[in-house]
Amino acid sequence: MLLVWRGLSLNVLRKEVNRACFREKAKQIMRPDDANVAGNVHGGTILKMIEEAGAIISTRHCNSQNGERCVAALARVERTDFLSPMCIGEVAHVSAEITYTSKHSVEVQVNVMSENILTGAKKLTNKATLWYVPLSLKNVDKVLEVPPVVYSRQEQEEEGRKRYEAQKLERMETKWRNGDIVQPVLNPEPNTVSYSQSSLIHLVGPSDCTLHGFVHGGVTMKLMDEVAGIVAARHCKTNIVTASVDAINFHDKIRKGCVITISGRMTFTSNKSMEIEVLVDADPVVDSSQKRYRAASAFFTYVSLSQEGRSLPVPQLVPETEDEKKRFEEGKGRYLQMKAKRQGHTEPQP
């Protein structure tokens, strides 16, 4: 991979510093193993690049002053939309900047542009907001304080504080779902939740982890997207692509040696989109004193595409149990809320 992170490769990472924030940039060419059979780059590949950018810039910032050394751990990814597909042979331009810091967290804004190197044409493919917390290298369960940034305008700090409080509240609201699990069903009917639900079991090895033995957030997100894609493909039996990812919450760290189970199930379908809930459970098999726990959760939205890349109608989901019907209505509420929000943004200004 042609990543140009300084300190992680021989290439030089361009870094600009101003009074408001740090900025960093990287490039990577998209190869066949980054894409699906139709040549579209996997959403999980893009999410992994986004997280790598966020981890580097936030870790650098948190170690920019003298004091106890730390590594920035991903706590949450806000909703991100896949605005335009990226294809094999295009170059991904990833740029990240710190936009807000609280006492114990860092907000990072990441943009992804795709470039056709034959024509030079560029387009915005992703915008994402990530939250990181600094963990001490001496004790990874200890959260350290974040060096403050200097804002060019007072409004920037006030707006950042509102975003911080909002995401903190939403993270607390997701914890009630932590006991929910995906159970297999024998001989399910087509278009039901059980028919397309899927699971992936993965043993966490050294290549998945930081130097301190914890899984990179980007690795987890890529696995989550892979499972969500399998669920969508089983339901539609067509080419599918990631359209958006709702907030991804990381409830607990995943250690090296754990066996993780990534489970996905469809919760809602509109005429042309599918919502898939993905749950990540970690089983510390090498430590009998610890029990299986919920590590992460998120909702992915996929769309079905024809061979020409046109949007196709989605087979309608048939919820059977009361829990499935409840999740369907909750998904419908999220869908209508985002639809109204998008329409509000596109309305002409008076």
- In DSSP terms, 25 is beta-bridged to 95
Q: Return the H-helix or E-strand segment holding 265.
A: strand 259-269
Give kind and range of the element (H or E) at residue 60.
helix 43-62
Q: Take residue 8 and report the two structure tokens written for it.
A: 């992680």
DSSP state of 212: T
Task: Return the structure tokens found at 163.
Answer: 């975003």
Q: How far apart are CA 217 and CA 132, in angstroms?
A: 10
Instruction: Reply yes or no on whether 239 is catalytic.
Output: no
CA-wise closest residue to 70 among 55, 50, 48: 55
Marked catalytic residue, from 36, 111, 178, 191: 36
Tokens, residue 82? 């896949």
Q: Which amino acid belongs to residue 116?
A: N
Residue 213: alpha-carbon gap to chain centroid: 20
Burial readout 15-24 (b: 16 or more C-beta within 10 A, e: otherwise): eeeeebbbbb
Q: What is the DSSP letter of 149?
A: P
And the tokens for 232? 């969508």
Residue 36 designated active-site: yes
Cα→Cα distances 328→181, 235, 244, 314, Å = 16, 15, 18, 15
- End-to-end Cα, the chain, rounded Å: 47
The token pair at 323 is 């829990």
Query: Could you tell me how far CA 316 lies from the centroid of its own chain?
Result: 26
Contact 198, 227 (CB under 8 A): yes
Q: Return the bridge partners of 70, or none.
A: 136
Catalytic residue (choose from 208, 225, 246, 281): 225
Q: Which two tokens stand for residue 347?
A: 């309305």
Q: How far apart are CA 228 and CA 237, in angstroms?
A: 14
Enzyme catalytic residues: 36, 225
